Structure 1
Amino acid sequence: MPVFSNAEMARRIAGLRDKLVTEKIDFAFLHTADSVFYLSGIPLLSEWGRPMWAILPASGQSAVCGAAIEKENMEFHSAFDEVLAYGDDENVVQASLELCANFIARHSTGKVRLGIEEALLPVGIHRALQGRFPNADLIEIGPAIEELRLVKSDEELRILDLGGQLAKVGANAFLEALHENVTELAVAAHAVAEVNRAMGALSTNGLTSTYAYAQFGDHTMTPHLHPTSRRLKRGDLVALNVFPVMWGYCTELERTFVFGEPSAAQRKPLDAVNEAFDAIKLALKPGRAMSDMAQMERDIFRRCELDQYVRHGTGHALGIMIGAGGREEKGELRIYNPRKLVSNMVHSVEPAVYIPGVGGFRHSDVMVITNDGARNTTDFPRDI
Structure 2
Amino acid sequence: MPVPFTRSTYEARLCIVRAALARRQIDALVVTHPPNVRYLTGLAASAGAALVTGTDLYLITDFRYAAAVERLLDEAALHEIVTPMVGEQPLEQATASLVAEGQLARVGVEAAHVTLEQHNRLAALQPGASLVPVSGVVEAARVRKDDREIAIFREAAARLSDVATTVLREVVKPGRTEMEIAAEIDWRLRRAGFSRPAFDTIVASGPNSALPHAYPTERTLADGEATVLDFGGVYNGYCVDLSRTVLLGSPSAELRRMHEAVSKAQQAALAILRPGVAPEEVDAAARKSLGRDGLEEAFGHSTGHGLGLEVHEAPRLGRRRPDMEPSAPLETGMVCTVEPGVYVVGVGGVRIEDDVLVTTDGCELLTRVDRAWRVR
Fold conserved (TM > 0.5)? yes
Q: 2: CA distance between counterparts of 1:225 and 1:135?
A: 49
Aligned to 2:106: 113
Q: 2: CA distance between counterparts of 1:368 and 1:339?
A: 17
Instruction: Give the structure with the larger strand fraction.
Output: 2
Q: Does 1:191 align with 2:185?
A: yes
Aligned to 1:90: none
Q: 2: CA distance between counterparts of 1:157 and 1:115?
A: 30
The residue correspondences of 1:266-281 to structure 2 (distance < 5 A) are 266-281=255-270
The residue correspondences of 1:114-193 to structure 2 (distance < 5 A) are 114-175=107-168, 176-193=170-187
Q: 1: CA distance between counterparts of 2:260 and 2:44?
A: 41
How has the CA–CA distance of structure 1 residues 208 and 5 changed in structure 2, closer, same or farther, with 3 Å as cutoff? farther
How has the CA–CA distance of structure 1 residues 357 and 124 changed in structure 2, closer, same or farther, with 3 Å as cutoff? farther
SS of the equivalent of 2:192 reads helix
CA contact (8 A) 1:310 1:352 kept: yes
Q: 2: CA distance between counterparts of 1:225 and 1:100?
A: 42
- Indicate which of 222, 227, 232 corresponds to 2:221: 232
Structure 1, gaps ≥5 residues long: 88-93, 200-205
Aligned to 1:74: 69
Q: 2: CA distance between counterparts of 1:245 and 1:222?
A: 25
CA contact (8 A) 1:208 1:248 kept: no
Q: CA deviation at 1:208?
A: 4.3
Partner AA of 2:186 in structure 1: V
Q: CA deviation at 1:209?
A: 4.6
- TM-score normalized by the length of structure 1: 0.87
Aligned to 2:9: 8
The residue correspondences of 1:11-22 to structure 2 (distance < 5 A) are 11-22=12-23
Q: 1: CA distance between counterparts of 2:60 and 2:258?
A: 50
SS of the equivalent of 1:189 reads helix
162-171 or 67-76, larger mean C-alpha shift: 67-76
Q: CA deviation at 1:173?
A: 3.1
SS of the equivalent of 1:230 reads coil
How has the CA–CA distance of structure 1 residues 210 and 287 changed in structure 2, closer, same or farther, with 3 Å as cutoff? closer
The residue correspondences of 1:322-333 to structure 2 (distance < 5 A) are 327-328=313-314, 331-333=315-317
Partner AA of 1:185 in structure 2: M
Partner AA of 1:64 in structure 2: L
How has the CA–CA distance of structure 1 residues 215 and 73 changed in structure 2, closer, same or farther, with 3 Å as cutoff? farther
- TM-score normalized by the length of structure 2: 0.88
Q: 1: CA distance between counterparts of 2:85 and 2:6?
A: 23
SS of the equivalent of 2:161 reads helix
Structure 2, gaps ≥5 residues long: 321-325
Q: Percent identity?
A: 27
SS of the equivalent of 1:140 reads strand
Aligned to 2:54: 58
Aligned to 1:382: 371
CA contact (8 A) 1:220 1:361 kept: yes
How has the CA–CA distance of structure 1 residues 253 and 143 changed in structure 2, closer, same or farther, with 3 Å as cutoff? same
Q: 2: CA distance between counterparts of 1:210 and 1:315?
A: 16
Deviations 1:9-49 (A, max 9, x none): 111112112222332221111111111111111113xx3xx
Partner AA of 2:192 in structure 1: A
Q: CA deviation at 1:275?
A: 0.8
CA RMSD of aligned residues (A): 2.2
Aligned to 1:247: 236
SS of the equivalent of 2:136 reads helix
Q: CA deviation at 1:210?
A: 4.5
224-233 or 246-255, larger mean C-alpha shift: 224-233
Q: 2: CA distance between counterparts of 1:125 and 1:224?
A: 32
Partner AA of 2:49 in structure 1: W
CA contact (8 A) 2:268 2:289 kept: no
Q: CA deviation at 1:76?
A: 2.6
Aligned to 1:342: 331
SS of the equivalent of 2:85 reads strand
